[in-house]
Amino acid sequence: MNDRPANHSIVPEPAPEKVLSPAAKRALAEAEERRVAVAAPTPHAKELHGPDGLEPTRFGDWERNGIASDF
């Protein structure tokens, strides 16, 4: 057994903040810009010569008389 009392309430102190160089600050800013760009929704390309309205294979194929023939 251990003679030391179990003290589970010890919370580690946060590490002191490091001083960042200007290059490191620029790198962090660029990384944040890339994260924002990736998270932003991108517009989808318009389908050429496709059916108007909803896609018949996903929302029911009644637009083509019950036939989904583009496979």
Structure tokens given for 40: 């932003």
Query: What is the value of pTM for the model shown?
Result: 0.39
Q: How many helices (H) and strands (E) does the chain have?
A: 2, 0
> Which pLDDT score, from 0 to 100, does residue 15 have?
79
- pLDDT tens-place string over residues 36-71: 988 888 777 777 777 676 665 666 555 555 565 555
| Cβ neighbours for 53, distance < 8 A, ≥ 6 positions apart | 63
